[in-house]
Structure 1
Amino acid sequence: MVFDLYVDGRADFERVRQLRVRVPRAALVAYVDMTRERAKDMFDAGRCGIDVLVVAEETDTPQMLAALLDQAEARSVSSLLKPHLAGLRSVVRDA
């Protein structure tokens, strides 16, 4: 699921958290236009459940976008598996 994190002018991380709860299997990809003022928001973006950030004019080429979408899907799936693997040995868990 690709969305503009700043669609209303400012990032609403609570809406992103709610989206993550409602659709836990979705890969969340935020498309952002980076500015200095928004730099601190990127830490909150990671904590609220966004899998990948696509930065306008930097990482939005077709090749980069395809790679980032693949990365987001992989992160989304692995986050679902982590709780089920917590009790296993680290060698098994990492594999």
Structure 2
Amino acid sequence: MKSKIIEKRERGVSVADLACTYSRSTSTICTILKNKNKTKETDASKGVTRISTQRLRILDEVERLLLTWINEKQLQGDTINENIICEKAKVIFSDLVKKAPG
């Protein structure tokens, strides 16, 4: 809600209109606007942390499993090309996503 209030104010909506829209007092709206830098920093950092932490873990696992698979194929004497590797990476990724909690 705070982010939406800040966005609307930056687009030119008056404090009184925001107070009516969100059923808050004008002083509450002013306090939110006064602390908008903190709100923006907090929102941005939360999103980045969640995305990159989850994404990096699963990609690390995909790379590890893919490298193991490539080594096994080479030991078996099988020829593999870029397309085969890409397809296998997609399969590994989708399997890990299905198994991931959440």
Specify which structure has the higher proportion of helix.
2
| Structure with more of its chain in strand, by fraction | 1
TM normalised by structure 1 equals 0.26
- TM-score normalised by length of structure 2: 0.25
- Which of 1 and 2 has higher RCO (CA within 8 Å, sep 6+)? 1
